[in-house]
Amino acid sequence: MNYAESIKKAKRVYVCGNGGSASTANHFVNDLVKMCGIRAYSLCSNEALLTAYANDDSFDNIFVDQLKVYAEPGDLIILISTSGRSNNILNVIRWAVGINCISFPIFDVTITQAEDLHLSLAHSICEAIHE
């Protein structure tokens, strides 16, 4: 099953990433909701919630702590990371037993090139869903 099919079949879609990947996650969610009518949510967009979780627990669990509240079977979690090594992204994979997860690919290029490729992939996915 490809990205577009997985997203269309999900009850809700949660997207997360760090730094530039957080910006891509926010942009992707915007396009999924507005362009495709998908129930999508960015786990990166609420700065107050992110910093509260980081302050009270740790930065390593900022996405898992939100998913514990929101996620249900039938949902989909999309992980965006240029390195694939961020603890808060890896912890989502460890936690998400019974919840579908997909990750954008890791490219052997510079970080800025990987970020461009991820945004291009997000746009391609939205175009495929929209068709």
Low-confidence ranges of the chain (pLDDT < 70): 1
Are 36 and 126 spatial neighbours (Cβ–Cβ below 8 Å)? Answer: yes
Helix (H) or strand (E) holding 50, with range, is helix 47-56
Indicate the SS3 state at residue 53. Answer: helix
Residues near 82 by beta carbon (within 8 Å), at least 6 away in sequence: 20, 21, 106, 107, 111, 114, 115, 118
Quote the number of domains for the chain. 1
Indicate the SS3 state at residue 126. Answer: helix
Tokens standing for residue 125: 């996915």
Residue 131 has a pLDDT of 82
Are 21 and 48 spatial neighbours (Cβ–Cβ below 8 Å)? Answer: no
Buried b (16+ CB within 10 A) or exposed e, 2-20: ebbebbeebeebbbbbbeb
CATH number at residue 42: 3.40.50.10490
Tokens standing for residue 37: 């009518």
The residue type at 102: I
Return the DSSP state at 37.
-
**Domain containing residue 50:** 3-130
Residue 67 has a pLDDT of 97
